Amino acid sequence: MSALVDNRRAKLSEYLPWIARDYLTDQGPSTAIIIVLIALFEAQMFRMGTGTRLATMPQDVAARLLRGLAGILAFLGTFFATNGIVSNDRKQGYYRFLFAKPVSPPSYYALVFGMYGAGLLVVVLALLCVWAVIVRPMFPIELFGAVAVLYLAYGGIGFLLSAAWRFDWMSLVTALLVARLCWSVWGNATGPAHWLLYLLPPVHRADNVVDIVMRSAGTPVPWNLIAWLGGYGLLCFVLGMVVIRKRPLGTS
C-alpha cells in the first residue's frame, strides 16, 4: 500500500529557524521594548533623585537596578513567550494545516517552548548590550541562569494552562497571584494545611533566585530553590505535553 510505504516524518530540526524567526519578530521585540521603557523610567527616577548621570552611576547602584530589571524581564519575557503558545493555534484554527502534516504535536510544541526560551536569552543579551552602551558594561552570567530558571518555572505553568484551555494568560496571572498570597499568609503555618501549599507554584521564592544576579563573592548559589522552582515548572511542562497528547486538537 503506497500510503504505508511513504513513511516520512517531518524533520522538525529544519523548522527551528522559522520558530526562532517568529520569536525574534514578535514576542522578542515586544519584550525588549517594554523592558527598555521600564529601564528608562527607573533611570529617570534615579536621575531625579540623585542628580547623577547614568554613565556615572556607582557600581552597586547599577547592580541593584539591573537586579530589579532582571525580575521584571524574567516574568514579562516568559509571559509574552508562552501566552497562547498552544491555545492560540486551537483558537485560530492553525492546528488544521500544521497537524495534518506528519508532525507530533507534543514534539512540535516542546520545540517551540525550547526555542522561545532560547530567544528570551538572546533578548537578555541584546538588552545587556544596550545597558553596556548607556550605563556600563555588565554581563553577569548569573542573569542568564536566573532568567532560564524562571522561564522554566513560570513558562512551564503557562505551557500547561495554554495546553489545557483558552484562558491561559488570565489563569496564569491568577495562579501566580493566588500562590504568592497563600504562601505569604500560610507559609509559616504548621500542620497538614501547610503541606497543601506545596501543590502551589513556589513563586514566592523567585526573588531569591533573581538575587544571584548581584550575588557577592562567597555567597552560595541557592541550588535547592533553583531545583524547586525549575522542577515545579518542568513538571507542569511535562503535564502540558500529556494534555496535548490526550486532548483532541479539535476541541477549544
Partner 1 sequence: MRAGSRAARDDATSPRDSALIEFQGVGHTYRSILGRTVRAVEDFSLSIGESEVFGLAGPNGAGKSTLISLLLGYLEPTNGSIRIAGLRPRAFVERHGIGYLSELIAIPTRWKVEDALQRYGILAGVRRHELAARVAYVIELLGLEEQLGKRVKQLSKGNLQRLGLAQALLRDEGVIILDEPTHGLDPLWTQVFRDIVEALRRPGRAIFIASHNLDELQRLADRVAIIDGGRLQRIVEPRAALGGSTTYIISIVGDAAAIADVFPGARPRGAQEWEMPELDLATLNAGITRLLQRGVLVSSLRPAHSVLEQHFREAVGE
Minimum Å gap between C-beta 110 and partner 1 is 14
Q: Which of 74, 91, 234 lies closest to 162, judged by CA?
A: 91
The grid cell for 199 is 501543590
188 binds partner 1 per the rule CB under 8 A: no
The number of residues making up the chain comes to 252
Among 103, 138, 164, 197, binds partner 1 (CB under 8 A): 103
Nearer Cβ to partner 1 (220/248): 248
Instruction: Report the distance separating Cα 203 and Cα 209, nearest Å.
Output: 10
Nearer Cβ to partner 1 (114/187): 114
111 binds partner 1 per the rule CB under 8 A: no
Minimum Å gap between C-beta 96 and partner 1 is 5
The C-alpha cell 500529556 sits at: 242
Stretch that binds partner 1, among 42-50, 91-99, 134-142, 200-208 (CB under 8 A): 91-99
* End-to-end CA, the chain: 35
Instruction: List binders of partner 1 among 128-187 (CB under 8 A).
Output: none
Stretch that binds partner 1, among 90-98, 140-148, 151-159, 223-231 (CB under 8 A): 90-98
The C-alpha cell 503558545 sits at: 85
Residue 58 phi/psi, 5° resolution?
-60, 155
Among 33, 47, 61, 96, binds partner 1 (CB under 8 A): 96
Minimum Å gap between C-beta 18 and partner 1 is 5
Angstrom CA distances, 210 to 76, 101, 148, 244, stand at 14, 41, 11, 31
Instruction: Report the distance separating Cα 154 and Cα 49, nearest Å.
Output: 34
Instruction: Report the distance separating Cα 206 and Cα 14, nearest Å.
Output: 35
Among 23, 75, 95, 159, binds partner 1 (CB under 8 A): 95
Among 9, 47, 53, 194, binds partner 1 (CB under 8 A): 9
Minimum Å gap between C-beta 45 and partner 1 is 36
Instruction: Report the distance separating Cα 100 and Cα 109, nearest Å.
Output: 15
Among 45, 98, 132, 173, binds partner 1 (CB under 8 A): 98
Nearer Cβ to partner 1 (14/60): 14
Burial class (CB in 10 A: 0-12, 13-18, 19+), 203: buried
Nearer Cβ to partner 1 (43/164): 164
DSSP code of residue 130? H
Residues contributing to the site for partner 1 (CB under 8 A): 1-4, 6-11, 14-15, 18, 92-104, 248-251
